[in-house]
Chain A
Amino acid sequence: MRNFLSLLISVIPNNFLKKFFFKLFLKICIDKESKIGFFVFFTCNNVDIVNSTIGNFILFDVENLRIDNSVIKNFNIFKNISKVNILKSSISRKNKFVANFLNKIKDNSITINNSFVGKKNLLDISDCILIEDSSLQDNIQIWTHSFDRFRKIKYGKVTISNGCFISFNIIILPNVTISNYAEVLPGTIIHKDILKSGIYSSVMISKDV
């Protein structure tokens, strides 16, 4: 019933009415300065949106959601996550913040603080992800679960903090920390921690003789 109501309210064209009905029927707190686009669908228990702009066609299938001073553009998906904090950040279009409901820890969360996230990224939130004071470009994959040789699942947090620049088409594997103004070049697979500043890559060009 709650989901059906959320679906109906999400197609109301007027922003003021939409916020009013969200608060009346679903107890979703959205302040006066925030804007909610067309077809933004909430299935959340606790929502707190302050001074933010949320685009069209966005799914929030989240238990606890907090968005503060941020911009989220169109066609993003947040699914099967227990906690989402987006603070002073900008998220571009067509990103997926997704966890498989079978393969995830109980308190999986994502925190994006003072950062930029580009287009068409896939962030697997089986465990926790922290992105702080950093910039992520397009087509990036961040994985927080993996499998060993005996096909047993392993979880690991991913932390990107302190002025890092993650370029295009990069894959970040579980249990990785990137910090201290590191710059990662396109096409890199990051499988271990980067704790010192510098330029990093895993792609080499060679010619077969």
Chain B
Amino acid sequence: MFKLFILFIISIVPVAYTKNKLYYFLFGYKIDKKSKIGFGTIINCNSVIIKNSNVGIFNYINIKNLDLDDTQIVNFNLIKDFLILECRDWSLIGSYNKFISNNNKGVLSMSRSQFTTSHTIYINNKFILSNNVVFGGINSVINYGSEDIETKIYDNVYFGSSVIFKSGSVLSNSLIGAGTTINKIIHKNNSLIVSHLLRKLDSLENNKKT
């Protein structure tokens, strides 16, 4: 509780250089000169290595090991209760995302990948994103149901808006349509996956009878 109070005080220090030095002297966080931590961002971790990265305003990061390299985390994110967050090579986490774990064992590793805005991601096991994985649009829910299965998403996968994705794996060069619900592992490369196809109902009463 005392640590949180000190972290809150540091988070409202206006000068980035002073903030980085305070983090280093008080908690041993390694934040290089090119990195910036925004106003109101609280980083509550055991070990922190941040290189050439930007963290925006009003983020709350409460995990054990944080390792950012060439990464941007934008504003108002909640990253909470898991083991390791590794982001490398132009990774991007947009605004208003929630990364939550229920069992404190999650590992999120990503490189050259992006989360846009307002997604909810549950991380209870390894969650690995290879190169060029993009969660586009808004309001996707990933790894719902809190299952403890390892999830790996291979190269060049694009998720459309409002996708619901259970844990498992998606092979490379795939495109997931907007609003799709994925319940199982996808075995094919180069695939376009959609789950909702539009149809015309004659009338509501006829449809209920069938």
- Chain A residues positioned under 8 Å from B1 (CB to CB): none
Among B173-210, those with CB < 8 Å from A are: 173, 175, 177-179, 190, 192, 194, 196-204
Are B199 and A143 interface neighbours, CB within 8 A?
no
Main secondary structure, interface of B, reads: loop
Given contacts A201-B201, A202-B196, contact A147 B178 (CB under 8 A): no
* Chain B residue with the shortest CB-CB distance to A197: B200
Is A141 in contact with chain B by the CB < 8 A criterion? Answer: yes
- Chain B residues positioned under 8 Å from A87 (CB to CB): none
From A21-29, A71-79, A187-195, give the one contacting chain B.
A187-195
- Chain B residues positioned under 8 Å from A198 (CB to CB): 200-202
Is B76 in contact with chain A by the CB < 8 A criterion? Answer: no
A151 and B194 CA atoms in complex are apart in Å by 17
From B49-57, B102-110, B154-162, give the one contacting chain A.
B154-162
Size category of the binding interface on chain B: 20 to 34
Given contacts A141-B161, A203-B196, contact A171 B204 (CB under 8 A): no
Task: Give the residue among A146, A185, A192, A196 with the most B Cβ atoms within 10 A.
Answer: A146
Q: Given B158, B177, B203, which contacts A189 in the complex, CB threshold below 8 Å?
A: B177
Are B179 and A149 interface neighbours, CB within 8 A?
no
* Chain A residue with the shortest CB-CB distance to B183: A208
Measured CB to CB, the closest approach of chain B to A8, in angstroms, equals: 23
Measured CB to CB, the closest approach of chain B to A100, in angstroms, equals: 10
Q: Given A141, A146, A147, A188, which contacts B198 in the complex, CB threshold below 8 Å?
A: A188
Are B199 and A201 interface neighbours, CB within 8 A?
yes
A152 and B163 CA atoms in complex are apart in Å by 20
- Chain B residues positioned under 8 Å from A190 (CB to CB): 198
Are A200 and B198 interface neighbours, CB within 8 A?
yes
Is B168 in contact with chain A by the CB < 8 A criterion? Answer: no
Is A130 in contact with chain B by the CB < 8 A criterion? Answer: no
Is B128 in contact with chain A by the CB < 8 A criterion? Answer: no
- Chain A residues positioned under 8 Å from B136 (CB to CB): 147
Is A199 in contact with chain B by the CB < 8 A criterion? Answer: yes
* Chain B residue with the shortest CB-CB distance to A196: B200
A187 and B198 CA atoms in complex are apart in Å by 11
- Chain A residues positioned under 8 Å from B192 (CB to CB): 149
A199 and B162 CA atoms in complex are apart in Å by 23
Among A169-196, those with CB < 8 Å from B are: 171, 173, 185, 187-192, 194, 196
Are A141 and B158 interface neighbours, CB within 8 A?
no
A202 and B180 CA atoms in complex are apart in Å by 11
Measured CB to CB, the closest approach of chain A to B80, in angstroms, equals: 25
Is A59 in contact with chain B by the CB < 8 A criterion? Answer: no
Given contacts A143-B137, A189-B177, contact A199 B200 (CB under 8 A): yes
Residues of A within 8 A of B (CB): 122, 141, 143, 146-149, 151, 171, 173, 185, 187-192, 194, 196, 198-203
CB-based closest 9 A-B pairs: A202-B196, A189-B179, A189-B196, A202-B198, A199-B201, A171-B179, A171-B178, A198-B200, A149-B175
